[in-house]
Amino acid sequence: MGSNVKEIATEVLPYIRVYKDGSVDRLVDSPIVPPCNEDPETGVSSKDIVVSKNPPISARIYLPKHVEQSLKVPLLVYFHGGGFCFESAFSFVETKYMNRLAKQANAVVISIEYRLAPEHPLPIGYEDCWTGLQWVASHSIDGGLKDEPWLSTYVDFDRLYVGGDSSGANLAHNILLRAGSEGLNGVKIKGAFLTHPYFWGSKPIGSEIKNNEEREKLATCMIWHLVYPEAPGGIDNPMLNPVVEGGPSLAGLGCSRLLISTAEKDFVRDRAVSYYHAVKKSGWKGELMELVEVEGEDHAFHILAHESETSMNLIQKLASFIV
C-alpha cells in the first residue's frame, strides 16, 4: 500500500511548511473572523470589499463610530505582517488591532489582503499592495472611482497614511519609495509608520554579531529565500536591505512624516535603528521623523499580546501619529 505521507520540500519553523506537491501548511495563522457592523469593544464598523478582480485583491475597511460626512477624517492604508507568507487582513488578531487603531486615531482604516508566497512569490505582494493603494487614491479624484462610499464620503485625502508591521512595514517602506518616484494620482502620502520592520542583510550588525553562527539558517534568511527565490542579490536585495550600497536613496521616501518603532527583544531591532539613522543621513526632506523603542518586549508584541498595557500604549502612540 502506498503511503499518504506528503514529502516536505522546505520548512521554516515554527511558521510554515511547504510540500513537494505544492501544498502549504501555515502553522501560526490566527483564525479568520468575519467583519462586524459594530465591534462590541470599539464601536467600529467593518466590511470586506473587492479592490480588484484581476489580479484578485480584497481588503477589510473600518469606519469609526460617529464619523460625520462634513468632518472628514484621516485614512490609514495598512499592510499586515506575516513574513509575506502567512497571516491575513481577515484574521482575529489583525481585526482586533485595526478596530483599536481606527477608534483611537478616529480614522478610516483599510487593510489590504495581498496574495501570499510561496504560491505567489514576491514581487507579487509588492505589486498587489501598490495596486491597492492606487485604487484607494483614485477615490480622491473628481470623476474618479467611487466604488467604496466609505472612502469617497468620509476621508480627507490630504491626510493619507500608510503603515505596516514586520513584513507589512517592509511593504510600506517599498510603497513609500515607489510613491516618491512615480507619484500617486496626485495624492500625497502625509505619513507612514513602520513597526518592527522586517529588514535584513548578509552583514551582521549590532547584536546580530553575537549570534552569527549558521546565519543562512536563521528564519530571517530562510523566509526571504522562500518568498522571493529570484530576488536579485538575495538577502541584500534593497527591498529587504534598504541600506545596502547601491540601493535607492532613502531621500526618495514619499511622505512627510515617519514613525519607526521597535522593541528591545525584537530580532530585527538593530535593522530598524539602522534604517532610522540612514533616513536621517539621506537628505530626506520630511517634516517629522521619530524612533520609538519599547523596553522588555519582543517582535509584534502589540498584535500577539494585544491585551497587555504596553500593547495598548504602543497602539495609542501609533494612533496619535495619525493626524
- Is pLDDT of 2 > 60? no
The catalytic position among 39, 128, 165, 266 is 266
Query: Which of 261, 271, 268 shows the shortest CA–CA distance to 314?
Result: 261
Q: Is 162 exposed, middle or buried (0-12, 13-18, 19+ CB in 10 A)?
A: buried
- Is pLDDT of 24 > 60? yes
- Taking only the tens place, the pLDDT of each residue in 197-255 is 999 999 999 999 876 668 889 999 999 999 999 999 999 999 999 999 999 999 999 99
- Taking only the tens place, the pLDDT of each residue in 114-136 is 999 999 999 999 999 999 999 99
Q: Do 189 and 160 form a contact (C-beta atoms < 8 A)?
A: yes
How much of the chain, in percent, has pLDDT values that exceed 70? 97
- Please, what is the Cα angle at 123 between 139 and 304, to 5 degrees? 80
At 209 the pLDDT is 83
Q: Where are any strands of DSSP class E within 137-285?
A: 155-165, 189-195, 257-263
Average pLDDT over residues 91-97: 98
The catalytic position among 45, 58, 140, 166 is 166
At 147 the pLDDT is 86
Cα dist from 8 to 22, 112, 145, 208, 226, whole Å: 10, 30, 45, 29, 13
- Please, what is the Cα angle at 308 between 307 and 314, to 5 degrees? 100
- Taking only the tens place, the pLDDT of each residue in 174-186 is 999 999 999 998 9
For the chain, domains (ranges, CATH) are 38-321 (3.40.50.1820)
At 216 the pLDDT is 86
Amino acid at 164: G
At 143 the pLDDT is 65
Beta bridge partners of 45: 63
Which band of pLDDT confidence, cut at 50, 70 and 90, is reported for residue 70?
Answer: confident
Average pLDDT over the chain, rounded to an integer: 95
- Assess whether 266 carries a catalytic annotation: yes
How much of the chain, in percent, has pLDDT values that exceed 90? 90
Query: Among 29-43, 185-199, 210-224, 254-268, where is mean pLDDT lowest?
Result: 210-224
- Is pLDDT of 145 > 90? no
At 68 the pLDDT is 86
- Taking only the tens place, the pLDDT of each residue in 154-170 is 999 999 999 999 999 99
- Is pLDDT of 69 > 90? no
- Taking only the tens place, the pLDDT of each residue in 76-88 is 999 999 999 999 9
How do 155-165 and 257-263 pair as beta strands? Answer: unpaired
- Is pLDDT of 146 > 50? yes
- Assess whether 166 carries a catalytic annotation: yes
Cα dist from 184 to 1, 51, 173, whole Å: 59, 16, 15
At 1 the pLDDT is 45
Query: Which of 196, 191, 165 shows the shortest CA–CA distance to 176?
Result: 191
| E strand or H helix that includes residue 118 | none
Which band of pLDDT confidence, cut at 50, 70 and 90, is reported for residue 141?
Answer: confident
- Is pLDDT of 319 > 70? yes
